[in-house]
């Protein structure tokens, strides 16, 4: 991620951050709220290839890329082991144990799934393509027992499927792994 403070469309001190939050190469532009309409109109008028997109577009891109949303798919209580994000903990950090939550996370890594109560897993929803996606908080049942819940879900236009991030209880994950 890179960031710079520049002038855009005559607005000084715009913070531009190059980020790949959706899995696509993109930028976020931060300006005081009083300049948002001016900036939006200037960008849309400057280039016919620039289009407005909402949170639905962001969600479909991030779900297709396998990225999670903080506050929905992961929370301050979720460890990288539970979230399936251990690849983000560098070897140096693991050996030095110099990061917040290191004791808990490194213990989970050492013990495998023994200390993990739940796991984040991506799924595609079965059924008709025209069916609405399962929404955040919908419980998932297996043989009349709640085994998890949906944290994110949306239609993937490029895949033609409904994609979901779900949190499953450890006892169920062990059976499907």
Question: pLDDT (tens digit, 9 = 90+) per residue, 26-46?
Answer: 788 999 999 999 999 999 999
Instruction: State the pLDDT at residue 171.
Output: 67
Closest CA to 62 of 167, 166, 156: 156
Tell whether 37 and 66 lie within a shared domain: no
Instruction: State the pLDDT at residue 154.
Output: 86
Tell whether 64 and 37 lie within a shared domain: no
Neighbouring CB atoms inside 10 A of 122's CB total 15
Specify the number of domains making up the chain: 2
- The pair of structure tokens assigned to 132 is 């609405």
Q: How far is C-alpha 148 from the geometric centre of its chain's CA atoms? A: 18
Tell whether 65 and 136 lie within a shared domain: yes
CA–CA distance, 50 with 48 (Å, rounded to integer): 5
The domain of 137 spans 60-172
Closest CA to 116 of 163, 170, 75, 161: 170
Task: Name residues of the chain where pLDDT drops below 70.
Answer: 20-23, 113, 128-129, 170-177
Tell whether 68 and 46 lie within a shared domain: no
Tell whether 125 and 156 lie within a shared domain: yes
Kindly list the distances between the CA atom of residue 16 and the CA atoms of 23, 46, 62, 132, in Å, as whole numbers in the listed order.
Answer: 18, 17, 20, 35
CA–CA distance, 29 with 17 (Å, rounded to integer): 7
Neighbouring CB atoms inside 10 A of 162's CB total 21
- The pair of structure tokens assigned to 83 is 């979230």
Look at residue 83 and tell me if it is in a domain: yes
Burial of 109 (0-12, 13-18, 19+ CB in 10 A): middle
Look at residue 177 and tell me if it is in a domain: no
CA–CA distance, 7 with 16 (Å, rounded to integer): 10
């Amino acid at each position: 991620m890179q960031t710079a403070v520049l002038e855009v469309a005559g607005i000084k001190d715009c913070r531009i951050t190059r980020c790949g939050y959706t899995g696509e190469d993109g930028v976020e532009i931060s300006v005081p709220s009083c300049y948002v309409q001016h900036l939006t109109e200037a960008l849309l008028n400057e280039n016919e290839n620039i289009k407005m997109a909402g949170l639905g577009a962001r969600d479909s891109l991030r779900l297709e890329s396998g990225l999670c949303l903080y506050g929905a798919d992961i929370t301050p209580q979720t460890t990288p082991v539970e979230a399936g994000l251990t690849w983000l903990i560098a070897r140096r950090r693991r050996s030095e144990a110099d990061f917040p939550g290191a004791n808990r996370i490194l213990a989970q890594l050492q013990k495998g799934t023994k200390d993990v109560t739940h796991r984040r897993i991506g799924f595609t929803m079965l059924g008709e393509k025209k069916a609405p996606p399962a929404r955040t908080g919908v419980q998932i049942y297996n043989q009349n027992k709640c085994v998890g819940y949906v944290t994110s879900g949306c239609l993937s236009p490029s895949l033609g499927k409904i994609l979901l991030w779900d949190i499953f209880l450890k006892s169920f994950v062990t059976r499907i792994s």
